[in-house]
Amino acid sequence: MEIKKLVAVKTFALSLLLGFSNANGSLIGEVEPNDGFGLASQTIADGVFSTGPVTDSRLLTAGVSNVENAGVAGWEWASIDSFCLPSAGVVCTESVDYYSFSVALGQEFIFDIDSDDGNIDSFLTLYDFNGNEITNNDDDDGDTGSTAGNFDSRIIWTSTLDGMATLLVDDSCRTVPNPDPNVGGFICSYDLASSAAYYLHISRTTTDAPIPEPSILALFGLGFLGLGFARRAGRS
């Protein structure tokens, strides 16, 4: 596990409970560890989402990022910055990233990875409350915010459920040395490189659906304890 950003977790919890609407641009940092489902994931609270336009200069850099439908009536968005800067108390290591958020029946979503980092060939997988895979995407040629040779991922989804969902961000297949010295050669790793940096944009239509109670979130986390997930098979 690593710590990529030291961000006040209490802010997320408070905004989740109170459900404040954020009218300003919303760019937050990744909070590690977030390499598992449920309570081991990073919760993107409802109150973090913004209904306003993009104002952060990091998201306005031409060719680096494109937050879809930001500032459009009936839509809200949040962006996560995964950049890790090694420093005192911060260790950047390889891992996968899980993000959880509330969903409502019929709500439209756009999940978009933007990166100008050649160290990442992203892969997105969306899971429901019970850990069942809903959909996934490797490379999206229609993503206007990508500069990494169209290797960035993007999912457009209309929710068929109420409650919580989880998005996994990992690497499509990163070639690394085989850790077994008796075999040698190279293997495929799904862990993101420690130096990999990306923006994850979550755009969604606004809804008056109630915010999940803390007890529901706790059950969501407990539901995945001890549950092992096999790595995706059959990737090209």
CB contact at 8 A, 81 and 27 = yes
What is the C-alpha to C-alpha distance for residues 48 and 25, in angstroms, rounded to an integer? Answer: 9
Residue 27 maps to a domain: yes
pLDDT average, residue stretch 203-219:
64
In a domain, 54, yes or no: yes
Of all helices (H) and strands (E), which one includes residue 43?
A: strand 42-43
What is residue 118's predicted lDDT score, i.e. its pLDDT?
67
Is 182 part of a structural domain of the chain?
A: no
Check residues 159 and 120 and name the one with the higher pLDDT. Answer: 159
Tell me the three state secondary structure of residue 87.
Answer: strand
Does the residue 236 lie in any domain? no
The whole-number pLDDT of residue 65 equals 63
Average confidence score pLDDT of the chain? 76
Domain membership of residue 227 (yes or no) is no
Count of domains observed in the chain: 1
Query: Which of 19-28, 85-94, 182-191, 199-208 comes out lowest in average pLDDT?
Result: 19-28
Please state, in angstroms and rounded to a whole number, the distance separating the CA atoms of residues 227 and 211: 26
CA distances from 175 to 8, 68, 91, 179, 208 (A): 35, 31, 22, 12, 45
> Domain span at residue 21?
9-170+191-222
- The verdict on residue 116 lying in a domain is yes
Residue 178 lies in a domain: no
pLDDT band at 181 (very low <50, low <70, confident <90, very high): confident
Give yes or no for residue 7 having a pLDDT over 70: no
Give pTM, 2 decimals.
Answer: 0.76
Give the C-alpha separation, 38 to 104, whole Å: 18
Task: Select from 137, 83, 75 the least CA-distant residue to 112.
Answer: 137
Compare 213 and 6 and report the one with higher pLDDT: 213
User: Each residue of 13-32: pLDDT tens digit?
Assistant: 333 333 334 545 589 988 88
Is 234 part of any domain?
A: no
Question: What's the mean pLDDT in 90-110?
Answer: 89
CATH code of the domain containing 62: 2.60.120.380
Is pLDDT above 60 for 57?
yes
**pLDDT (0 to 100) of residue 18:** 33
Amino acid 206: pLDDT: 95
64 falls in which pLDDT band (50, 70, 90)?
low
